[in-house]
Every structure is written in structure tokens, then in C-alpha cells.
């Protein structure tokens, strides 16, 4: 049963914080971050913050240690493991970066549950400094998305469309997210798909601004147990819908086959009477 694709945002969806803010705060650079925030795009700012932290003597290991303390609810871990065990194809689409996400997932033993992580690339340069690069290099061209809520370095809607194009159109999608950047992929979901916005955050507000713009069914959640409950209910519902449509097909075939047999039914009692 691998007809279901579950796409997770990462920050405030898998972990219960924003990993960028978590690292900046843990390593004591919050004031500088807030000071620079109005002057450059977020993705460039994070690269700049890594440069600043490096110049203050903070190492890759310091960054990794802070990431390992980011909150991740045990029921979110069990939701991921259960969905995987049922056969769902799990993917991440995130505006964090690959170093942050892999460090956290590996720490919790979760990295192998995901078939794909779409996020901003990162690398460690020759000085041992973490560099964070844009998923889409907006210094050369715009990604061209017109929804106005996608940051310049990433349109998650375009990522979702690429995933749609790479697989069987019958696959059903469940998308979980919380932020502005999760709105564009929510608009791309099709009938039969589901979007799970975290309640009372940006995605939830954007969807509730005009729910008629979405083709997917909307199911809100709160972090932790509630996320697990809603996700597994939807997975089970899709499985039931898919299996009942298979049974319907089978029973239609059976009816067609029983038509000629039923015409002979009245003969059977007579034949039995003869032998008595």
C-alpha cells in the first residue's frame, strides 16, 4: 500500500520551533539577527549569521549540539513511524536547510523514513564555516511564482508540482504545514488530496481567508498527539476509500459472471428431484 504521499514542512510541523531561530537564540546571536532581518532576505541572513557565529568562535559542533535540543514531540515521531510502516511515501519540503534538518532527523533516528528532502542546500567551507545557499538562486532569476507569499529562494508550490509530475496521478497527497510558504503548495493540491494546516498559524489563516480557493480537503491540527491522530485518521480513510473502490470493481465483475449461471438455477431442484 504505497498510494499515499505525505509531505511535511519541517519547522513548527515536525519540530515544534523554527530551527533557524533556535540556533541563533541558542548561540546568543538574537540581537544581531533582529538588527539585520529588515536589511536582507531570510535565506541570505542565515548564511550571514553562520559567518558571524564562526567569527565568534562557534563551531559546526556547537551548531549541531544546539539543533539536537530542538523540541520534537514523541507523538510526532510515532506518527512518522506509523505512516511509514503503513507504506506511505514520506517527504519533506522546507525552507530551513539540509544541515539543520539532517542533524535533527539523524539525532532522532528518523532520517531513513523520508524518501526525499527538498530544502536549501548547505556546505561546510574550507574554514569550517557552515554556508547556507538558496534552493532557488534568486540572484540570477526569479522563480516566477505569482502568489506573493513564497520567499524569493523557494516556491514550495513548484516543488509539489514536480513531485506530482514524477509519479502516478492516482497517488493521494496529504500536506502538513504551518507557514506562509506552505500556502502555495496547498493551492496546488488536487481533489482527493488533504491539507493539514497547524491551527491558528499563518497557513491556517491564509486558508480560512477563502477556503473555496482550495481543491483539497482541510483538516487542522495542534502540535503533538493531535497531529498524529489527524494524520493517521486521514491515512486510514484513504486506505478504506481505495479498498472499497477495489471491492466495488470486483463485485461488478462477479455480477457479470453470475448472470449465465443464474439462468440455470431453476433446473437444479428438478435434477435433484429426478435422482430421488
- Give yes or no for residue 145 binding Zn ion (CB under 5 A): yes
Which residues, 255 to 274, sit near Mg ion by CB under 5 A?
Answer: none
Catalytic residue check, 16: no
Alpha-carbon distance values, 215 to 56, 72, 206 (Å): 49, 31, 14
- Give yes or no for residue 95 binding Mg ion (CB under 5 A): no
- Give yes or no for residue 11 binding Mg ion (CB under 5 A): yes
Contact mark string toward Zn ion, 56..95, x via CB under 5 A: ----------------------------------------
| Closest CA relative to residue 231, chosen from 97, 70, 85 | 85
Which residues, 95 to 114, sit near Zn ion by CB under 5 A?
Answer: none
Sign of the torsion angle spanned by Cα atoms 77, 83, 85, 87: negative
Per the DSSP assignment, residues forming a β-bridge with 217 are 194
Given Zn ion, Mg ion, none, residue 145, with its beta carbon under 5 to 8 Å by kind, binds: Zn ion
| Closest CA relative to residue 220, chosen from 201, 240, 192 | 201
User: Where do we find the cell 532520517?
Assistant: 111
* Cβ–Cβ < 8 Å for 41, 153: yes
- Give yes or no for residue 187 binding Zn ion (CB under 5 A): no
Catalytic residue check, 112: no
**C-alpha grid cell, residue 242:** 481505495
- Give yes or no for residue 203 binding Zn ion (CB under 5 A): no
| Closest CA relative to residue 175, chosen from 2, 37, 10, 38 | 10
- Give yes or no for residue 181 binding Zn ion (CB under 5 A): no
| Active site residues per annotation | 9, 11
Binding residues for Mg(2+): 9, 11, 178
Tell me which residues touch Mg ion (CB under 5 A). Answer: 9, 11-12, 178-179
Annotated binding site for substrate: 20, 95
Amino acid at each position: 500500500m504505497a498510494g499515499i504521499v505525505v509531505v511535511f514542512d519541517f519547522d513548527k510541523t515536525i519540530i515544534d520551533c523554527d530551527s533557524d531561530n533556535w540556533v541563533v537564540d541558542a548561540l546568543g546571536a538574537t540581537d544581531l539577527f533582529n538588527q539585520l532581518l529588515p536589511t536582507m532576505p531570510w535565506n541570505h541572513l542565515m548564511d550571514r549569521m553562520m559567518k558571524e557565529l564562526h567569527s565568534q568562535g562557534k563551531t559546526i559542533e556547537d551548531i549541531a549540539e544546539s539543533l539536537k535540543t530542538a523540541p520534537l514531540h514523541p507523538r510526532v515521531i510515532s506518527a512518522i513511524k506509523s505512516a511509514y510502516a503503513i507504506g506511505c511515501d514520506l517527504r519533506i519540503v522546507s525552507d530551513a536547510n539540509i544541515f539543520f534538518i539532517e542533524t535533527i532527523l539523524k539525532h532522532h533516528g528518523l532520517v531513513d523514513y523520508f524518501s526525499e528532502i527538498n530544502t536549501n542546500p548547505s556546505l561546510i567551507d574550507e574554514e569550517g564555516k557552515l554556508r547556507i545557499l538558496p534552493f532557488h538562486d534568486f540572484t540570477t532569476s526569479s522563480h516566477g511564482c505569482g502568489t506573493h507569499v513564497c520567499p524569493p529562494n523557494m516556491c514550495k508550490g513548484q516543488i509539489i508540482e514536480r513531485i506530482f509530475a514524477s509519479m502516478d496521478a492516482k497517488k493521494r497527497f496529504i500536506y502538513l504545514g504551518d507557514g506562509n510558504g506552505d500556502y502555495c503548495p496547498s493551492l496546488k493540491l488536487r481533489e482527493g488530496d488533504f491539507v493539514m494546516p497547524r491551527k491558528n498559524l499563518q497557513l491556517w489563516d491564509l486558508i480560512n481567508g477563502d477556503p473555496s480557493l482550495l481543491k483539497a480537503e482541510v483538516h487542522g491540527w495542534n502540535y503533538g498527539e493531535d497531529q498524529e491522530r489527524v494524520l493517521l485518521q486521514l491515512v486510514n480513510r484513504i486506505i478504506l476509500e481505495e479498498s472499497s473502490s477495489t471491492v466495488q470493481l470486483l463485485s461488478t465483475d462477479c455480477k457479470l459472471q453470475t448472470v449465465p449461471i443464474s439462468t440455470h438455477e431453476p433446473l437444479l431442484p428438478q435434477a435433484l428431484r429426478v435422482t430421488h
